[in-house]
Structure 1
Amino acid sequence: MTVQPCLVAGRGLAASLAVWLLVGCTGCTGVPILVPDLALASAPVQLAGARGPLSPAKSKAILDRLAVQGQDTGIFERHLAVEEALTGSPLTTGNQVLLLQDGPATYQAMFAAIESARDHINLETYILDDDEVGQRFAQALIAKQEQGVQVNVIRDSVGTVGTPAAFFQRLSDSGINVLEFNPLNPLASRKEWELNRRDHRKLLIVDGQTAFMGGINISSVYSGGSFSQRSRMRPDGSPAWRDTDLQLKGPVVAEFQKLFLATWADQRGGPLPTRNYFPAPGSPGRLVVRAIGSSPDEDYSLIYATLLSAIASAETSVYITNAYFVPDPQLLAALVTAAGRGVDVKLILPSQTDSWLVFHAGRGFYEPLLRAGVQIHERQGAILHAKTALIDGVWATVGSTNLDWRSFLHNHELNAVVLGTEFGLQVQAMFDRDLALSTRITLDAWERRALHWRVQELFARTWAYWL
């Protein structure tokens, strides 16, 4: 594949502007233009199971079964070998995947897993707030540390900038290893100071056997559900947040564990206590899953590259739900081209947001998409924070990656790709539920939008590169 060659992480406009003023745009580059080597599409894809790589024949049999389930799609034939060459991470079989929608369901499953921990807990998060939910996590983690379970935590410096130092000191005093990712304070940096690089991943691994990942941070903003009218408001009267996570068991957990340990080592967190970080995984399910971690240390975002490849391979449908949508020209072209060849392209985007600039910058791209036949729907009744995609009903991804320049260029992100209709049908049902709670934006209505909306879009788009 050929690669042809600053955004600011923050929890609000003030933080973003402050950091941008610090770093300016020195060293900024565009999102790389990715040109996949189509010759890779003929390479055989080898799956990995609980005991290591499967034989070529067994790998082919599993993928052939998934391809038959997909019907009317060439995504398996044309895409998977390219994806594997792009990411370098194996497709693993024998996994169990549970789709978790919104904070309450996710936190309940996380607390149950933490309570069952017997060896270690590894937590990596962008936001860890000192609020009701954050305190519950702190209490649960401290309790396990006191029981002899080793707890290791990576927290992003910008994402936790509002969390008091005393909160983390309490964790450290209990014996928990707490690592601050890329500290805001250059004097606290353990390597070259790169303020613009942030750890946007959300990952919890328990005993090397169960992993949770997706878009959900540790914060009370997720304390309400977002589907029923009754639960759409949080106890304080603010809108519920709509997000998605996965609970995974099986061989793929080891791939997430490798990513956590690699981040710890890269940030020079020091030696971790010896624990059984890679137990025998078994085969608790039958789903085929790939773990993909993106880092600005790579020549290009692995998640961005594989998403572009999947959209280019789509034959029937591309259904995307994303919280922060500020596409670069290549992603925009991929969506427009897919719609142009008859693929049903639908986007569910926010109707309200916690980031004014991102919201209006994204809306500035509506017109070319609508003219190309892409359907755009805005989710009502909640703040949309989910990052999911379903292509041809058989290729699904859930993770932390937004469709904006920041995620593609400067963030450490984490996604899972799950193959087959068994999981695809669950994602489709979730997408349909969100669609029913969304308002469709038509080209005619969009062309008649008020002048003040146009002015805000124009202003916000000038900042798109830094969002």
Structure 2
Amino acid sequence: MPTRTLTLAAVTGMCLLAAAACARLPDTDALIQRHTRQAARFENARGPLSAQKSAAIVAELKRKSGDIDILDKQIALEQAIVGSPLTLGNQVTLLQDGAATYAAMFAAIRKARNHINLESYIIEDDAMGQQFADLLLEQQGRGVQVNVIYDSVGAFNTPKAFFERLTSGGVAVLEFNPINPLSAKAQWLVNNRDHRKLLVVDGHTAFIGGINISSVYASGSATRPRGKATGNIAAWRDTDLQVEGPVVGELQKLFVETWEKQRGKPLADKAYFPALKVQGKDIVRAIGSTPDAPYSLIYVTLMSAIGNAEKHVYLTNAYFVPDPQLLEALADAARRGVDVKLILPSHSDSDVVFHAGRSHYLALLKAGVRIYERQGALLHSKTALIDGVWSCVGSSNLDWRSFLDNDEINVVVLGREFGQQMQAMFAKDLDASVAIDPATWEGRSPMLRVKEWGASLWQRLL
């Protein structure tokens, strides 16, 4: 997320609320053990498939992927924990960096004929924000209903006039959990932030990932030489997905649920849930997390996938402030022979988050986890690839805030073909990264150690 310049009072108030919060991460081992083994089930555009057809799909997935056990264990476990279906018949397109993502978003928005639902943690009043505003207003003027959710903290520095212009043009705008308690329509929970990035067009095309609406993403990282940036513009490295097919209905449900939970005005009568057709061969599960649930579905899903990994765990993440269970899961995977690689930032827009994450390097390195820091760009991606067949992309960071305090949204894609695309992307980022050598890291300067120690004191709030 781009740096937010909040007032001291706002930051202090939010920190006090965070410190007083009683939310805790679940005991994932106990939670996973409580869910009994069940047969994997799938849905397509026409509804649930029979047990026989579902079993045949799992068998075919395992045949194509080398009979990797995670496809059997993880599918059934996710089904029990998350509840949302695995849907067949989707087309998932991997989008790297802002330029490619914005171009695809603009193309989809221009083709809209019924509605556009946009949910973003940050919407800046800059060149990119204005491009989005102009296009959304143009479509609203053509009779396409546009609905926008923005986060009150994420858009703290965006002038109200920006959103008033949208509202004046007919766009329905909703501020998520306003900082000002007098503006709150639902329960005032200022520490609960909407960190999701979701665009749904006409109920059949969706975009999700880590990219907010801001010009900082426009430059991208593809043309940056290793270790260098161009001029004074910092490159941002991020990842999004364009999804078409039946799973878009699940993503749409999450948008509508947020709108209703925040008590937005009734949505205009549009075809938000059209009949969806087969668009491709990708198998996808949508996962939404929110603090008012018993636990983070995204967190438990990731923990279970790491626990079921047999060959490798490849994580790329912008904000790495792991809790003890996640640390132990990564270390345990490495100790049992799984190739665990983490690509993390070499610099960040949040120094305290950056150093808090680094405070855990030594323990992970000693367990056999290999850590790399991405050079030449500010890393903002949130992706996971496990055993080459289980891929996850979304808005969720590997930190306490994402798992306890934020509304987040991720998707899981199953299959070797999409996994190969994720593998190629990971390899490209790895090539632009520098490995953290255990011996060198152990001999780092006392000043770095002090920064890490100080930042680690705040990690529950990050």
Query: TM-score category by the smaller chain?
Result: over 0.9
**CA gap 1:285/1:106 in 2 versus in 1, 3 angstroms:** same
**1:13: Cα distance to partner?**
7.9
Distance 1:433 1:138 in 2: 33
Matches within 5 A, 1:34-45: 34=28, 35-38=30-33, 40=35, 42-45=37-40
Distance 1:40 1:60, change over 3 A: farther
Separation of aligned partners in 2, 1:180 and 1:190: 10
Report what 1:19 is aligned to.
13
Q: Say which is worse superposed, 114-123 or 72-81, in terms of deviation.
A: 72-81
In structure 1, what is the Cα distance between the partners aligned to 2:246 and 2:190? Answer: 34
| Alpha carbons of structure 1 residues 192 and 30: separation in structure 2 relative to 1, 3 Å | same
**Which structure 2 residues correspond to residues 81-92 of structure 1 after superposition, within 5 A?**
81-92=76-87
Matches within 5 A, 1:117-136: 117-136=112-131
* C-alpha RMSD over aligned residues: 1.8
**Aligned counterpart, 1:60:** 55
Are the structure 2 counterparts of residues 378 and 10 from structure 1 closer, same or farther at C-alpha, using a change threshold of 3 Å? Answer: closer
Which of 26, 31, 53 lines up with 1:32 in the alignment?
Answer: 26
For residues 112 and 384 of structure 1, what CA distance do their matches in structure 2 show?
Answer: 26
Residue by residue over 1:116-159, the C-alpha shift from the partner in whole angstroms, topping out at 9 and shown as x without a partner, is 00000000000000000000000000000000000000000000
Distance 1:177 1:360 in 2: 40
CA distance in 2, matches of 1:264, 1:291: 18
What amino acid is aligned across from residue 21 of structure 2 in structure 1?
G
1:280-328 residue CA offsets vs partner (Å, 9 max, x unmatched): 1100101100000000011110000000000000000000000000100
Asked if the contact 1:94/1:284 (under 8 Å) is kept, the reply is: yes
Deviates more, 1:238-247 or 1:65-74: 65-74
Deviation, 1:20, is 3.5
Counterpart CA distance in 1 for 2:159 and 2:267 is: 25
- Taking structure 2 as the reference length, the TM-score comes to 0.96
Report SS of the residue matched to 1:430: helix
- Could you tell me how far apart the structure 2 residues matched to 1:370 and 1:232 are? 23
What's the secondary structure of 2:398's corresponding residue?
A: coil
Q: How does 1:169-318 map to 2 (within 5 A)?
A: 169-229=164-224, 237-318=232-313
Give distance in 1, aligned partners of 2:124 and 2:395: 18
> CA 1:353–1:224 in structure 2 vs 1: closer, same or farther (change >3 Å)?
same
Deviation at residue 367 of structure 1 after TM alignment: 0.7
CA contact (8 A) 1:40 1:81 kept: no
TM-score (norm. length: structure 1): 0.95
Q: Counterparts of 2:19 and 2:48 in 1: how far apart (Å)?
A: 44
What is the alpha-carbon distance in structure 2 between the residues aligned to residue 303 and residue 327 of structure 1?
A: 14
Check the 8 A contact 1:73/1:314 in 2, yes or no.
no
Which structure 2 residue ranges, 5 or more long, are not aligned?
none
Structure 1 gaps, min length 5 = 1-8
CA contact (8 A) 2:124 2:158 kept: yes
% same residue:
57
1:360-414 CA deviation, whole Å, 9 max, x = no partner? Answer: 0000000110000000000000000000000000000000000000000000000
Whole-angstrom CA distance in 2 between matches of 1:17 and 1:108: 35
- For 2:419, what is the secondary structure of its paired residue? helix
Number of corresponding residues: 459
- Whether the 8 Å contact between 1:41 and 1:81 is mirrored in structure 2 is no
Q: Map of 1:57-456 to 2, 5 A cutoff?
A: 57-71=52-66, 73-229=68-224, 237-456=232-451
Cα separation, 2, equivalents of 1:72 and 1:460: 43
Q: Greater CA deviation, 28-37 or 129-138?
A: 28-37
Please give the alpha-carbon distance, in whole angstroms, between the structure 1 residues aligned to 2:167 and 2:72. 50
Q: Does 1:459 align with 2:457?
A: no
Helix, strand or coil for the counterpart of 2:23?
coil
1:293–1:126 CA distance, 2 compared to 1 (3 A): same
Code of the aligned partner of 2:165: R
